[in-house]
Chain A
Amino acid sequence: MNLIEDPWIPAIRADGRQCRIAPWQIAETDNPVVELAAPRADFQGALYQFLIGLLQTATAPEDSEQWSDLYHEPPLADKLASAFGAFAPAFELFSEVGKPAFLQDLTLQEGEAKGIAGLLIDAPGGKTVKDNLDFFIKSGQVEQLCPSCAAQALFTLQTNAPSGGVGHRVGLRGGGPLTTLLKPAGASTLWQKLWLNVLDSSNGLQSANTVLSADIFSWLAPTRVSDKTGQATFPEEVAPLQMYWGMPRRIRLEKQPGFCQCSLCGGETESSVSHFITRNYGTNYDGAWLHPLTPYRIDPKKEQLPLSLKGQKGGLNYRHWLGLVLRDDENGDQAAKVVRDFQATKSALLDAAQPLQLWCFGYDMDNMKARCWYEHTLPVMQLGASQAELVQQWAQVLVNCARESAQLLRQHIKQAWYRRPKDVGGDITFIDAAFYQATTGDFYKALAALARHSQNDTSPPQALYEGWFHTLKRALETQFDQSALNATPEAMDLKRVMAARAALFKNFHSSKQIKQIKPAKRPLKETA
């Protein structure tokens, strides 16, 4: 199967029909493709990245003008087909050892043979199965894959690869990175959904001029192994486009002829994959990689390498909004390149009336254990550069105050619950989660108001700050009372609870952060 020429990508067209398309068909305008339809959530994200990577590699626009023209009118389908077609030799899924196979080690002949389920990031590992501990995700669910699902699984693993034991390398962005993609909020074609995330060549990501370059597609040459005699791979050593095609794991799929019903998509095919072979010490990505689709935490002193943001326990909520959409000065989080580029150059070229969203997804990994798959959609505002700067500053105040409040709430609920709160361990961040949940609606309302305010005023929005102050205070009251008082009086030390409650509000009112948004005391009128 060739991933450029054959229709292997599950998709949905405007009339609702499911189909399989070859990559170039994303440009079809007659009953266009509107969405992908992968059998798993992680595959869905991977297919998007596969197509975005392909567009970036084969047809990156020269400048934002050209980008904008193409956003509104996709290229002719056969033009796209021929642009992609040049890369076809690198996209064969199966081939003899020694000939290139997509995302697979060129020369790997001998290695550990593994069941195909081993490609799936959430599948239980060998030891888990042996110890009979596969409680949630059972073993033996996935025995064989159709070539399409095998390709998706392979790309998903190479893109998100967690550490997999000695020498089984993590992906270019670390294990389980967060990916953030821009998406129109309303109805749109797949083309638009993808093209929003393509950078023009002024970003150093021009289309490949030598088509089949091992600097981009590392599987065209023997793997840069990273065992004792090997080496790490730094950004300076290969083409920047390799970021879209990272291959940390040495894998070779084994195709089997014969009828197959795919364990994942249920489709029936003439051939299947039930095993692959693998070996450790594949490409070891090191150094300051900055993948365009992933937000990073940047050390302001530039002493540490940029750290890709990962899926985290508890998922995402509005306190991450700044770091994912603009930048968060509090912790150094910075939106993905593609998001920053959008704000800086593309936003002005689009119809501001069509709202955008940021689709954020990724695994929360505990080393090689997948704890959770997260997916969130955050609002993206279309702001000019100076407006964005103001909104960033003001929203930072809101977020800082919310963080401070959540932290105070957790601390004082603990004081209400325990005589010696410092001696009690355990994870009680569910308190934070409930607090953020309760204030989410008001935050996004305030954010929209901040954006409006920034259109004609550069002074801090005092009235909005005060509104946020009351929101936080109300939420603290309700959340504290719900958590600290929700027990029979016999079980509670009410004296302690009330003392903690009083301390919570005392600290809230005297907090440095909160003072920024606190309403000024009005003379003659007492405020409690």
Chain B
Amino acid sequence: MTEHNLHGASPAALRHWHSALDGQRGMRAQLRRIDRPEDVLLSEAFAAFLARLPESWRHERHLMASALVASALAWVQHDEQTSSFAKQLKGKEERPLMSDMRFKQLLKSRTPEEFYRRLLRAIRLLKGQVNVLSLTADILQWYQEFTQGPERNPVNRLAVKWARDYYAA
């Protein structure tokens, strides 16, 4: 199993929070009923999410990434742990589940809003069957590269990791 960089969050806590959403429809609705990721920041549901995560997730610089994770996970119906998010987008068929072009667009998103919109489209394509930890780690890395520029070592870049999973799948 691959190690996901979850910025210190415990995998169990994340999974637990996600599966608990099933019993808390109101919370989930709050997280889903937004246009832009920052809309989620003031919600009660987001506060409950942060309460389960390390201090650093509440940090001003991290808050946007945290919001992206919370609202994206709210759309995941089932934690499908068998393969990585990017591999799931490729799917098992000859014809990829998410087309090559759409996949490239997702990679090349220029703002968090754009990324969020495209991410939801991807999750919908997967019918909500998504690897929670892989998705979380990828969102965190995307945001980090968005704010701080790409990884110095090209091999570790999100685009490259995704491409390796998607094109080699």
Tell yes or no: A502 within 8 A of B by CB.
yes
Is A489 an interface position by the 8 A CB rule? yes
The reply to whether the CB of B163 lies closer than 8 angstroms to some CB of chain A is yes
The residues in B between 137 and 169 inclusive whose CB is less than 8 angstroms from any CB of A are 150, 154-155, 157, 159-160, 162-164, 167-168
Chain A residues closer than 8 Å to B150, beta-carbon distance? 488-489
Alpha-carbon distance between A486 and B157 when the two chains are bound, in angstroms: 10
Q: Is A499 an interface residue (CB 8 A)?
A: yes
Verify B168–A482 contact, CB threshold 8 A: no
Contact B154 A481 (CB under 8 A): yes
B159 with A482: CB separation less than 8 A: no
On chain B, the residues within 8 Å of A490 by CB distance are 108
Given contacts A490-B108, A494-B163, contact A485 B157 (CB under 8 A): yes
CB-nearest residue of chain B to A492: B159
Chain B residues positioned under 8 Å from A488 (CB to CB): 150
Q: How distant is A425 from chain B, measured CB to nearest CB, in Å?
A: 26
- Tell me if B154 and A495 are in contact (CB < 8 A): no
- How many residues of chain B are within 8 Å of chain A by beta carbon? 15
Could you tell me if A494 and B167 are in contact, using CB atoms closer than 8 angstroms? Answer: yes
- Which residues on A sit within 8 Å (CB–CB) of B168? 498, 502
- For the complex, what is the distance from the CA of A486 to the CA of B150, rounded to whole Å? 10
Knowing A488-B150, A489-B107, say if A498 contacts B155 (CB, 8 Å).
no
- A497 within 8 A of partner (CB): yes
Q: Which of B104, B154, B164 contacts A486 (CB 8 A)?
A: B154
Give the docked Cα–Cα distance between A492 and B164 (Å).
13
Is A485 a contact of B167 with CB atoms below 8 Å?
A: no
Q: Which of B100, B155, B159, B164 contacts A489 (CB 8 A)?
A: B159
Closest Cβ neighbor of B152 among chain A residues:
A486
**Known contacts A482-B154, A488-B150; A495/B107 CB under 8 A:** no
Q: What are 20 A-to-B residue pairs whose CB atoms are below 8 Å?
A: A481-B154, A481-B155, A485-B154, A485-B157, A485-B160, A486-B154, A488-B150, A489-B157, A489-B159, A490-B108, A494-B107, A494-B159, A494-B162, A494-B163, A494-B167, A495-B100, A497-B163, A498-B167, A499-B167, A501-B164
Report the minimal beta-carbon distance from B100 to chain A, rounded to whole angstroms.
7
List 19 additional contacts besides A488-B150, A498-B163; criterion CB under 8 Å. A481-B154, A482-B154, A485-B154, A485-B157, A485-B160, A489-B107, A489-B160, A490-B108, A492-B159, A494-B160, A494-B162, A494-B163, A494-B167, A495-B100, A497-B163, A498-B164, A498-B167, A498-B168, A499-B167
Q: Which one of B162, B163, B164, B167 has the greatest number of beta carbons of chain A within 10 Å? A: B163
Question: Taking the nearest CB of chain A, how far is it from the CB of B96, in angstroms?
Answer: 11
Interface of A (DSSP majority class): helix
A490 to B154: give the CA distance in the assembly, Å: 13
Q: Which of A485, A486, A492, A502 has its CB near the most chain B CB atoms (within 10 A)?
A: A485
Nearest-CB distance from B146 to chain A (Å)?
A: 12
Name which residue of chain A comes closest to B155, CB basis.
Answer: A481
Interface centre among A485, A489, A497, A499 (most CB of B within 10 A): A489
Q: Of A482, A486, A489, A495, which one neighbours B167 at CB under 8 angstroms?
A: A495
* Cα A485 to Cα B158 with chains together (Å): 12
Chain B residue at minimal CB-CB distance from A497: B163
Chain B residues closer than 8 Å to A492, beta-carbon distance: 159
**Segment 59-86 of B: residues with Cβ below 8 Å from A:** none
Please, which residues of chain A bring their CB within 8 A of the CB of B154? Answer: 481-482, 485-486
CB contacts under 8 Å to B, within A461-501, are 481-482, 485-486, 488-490, 492, 494-495, 497-499, 501
Nearest A-chain residue to B158, judged by Cβ? A489
Docked Cα-Cα span, A501 to B154, in Å, equals 14
A497: which B residues are within 8 A, CB to CB?
163
Task: Report Cα–Cα, A482/B152, bound state, in Å.
Answer: 10
What separation, in Å, do the CA atoms of A34 and B167 have in the docked complex? 62
Considering the chains assembled together, what is the distance between the CA atoms of A481 and B168 in angstroms?
A: 15
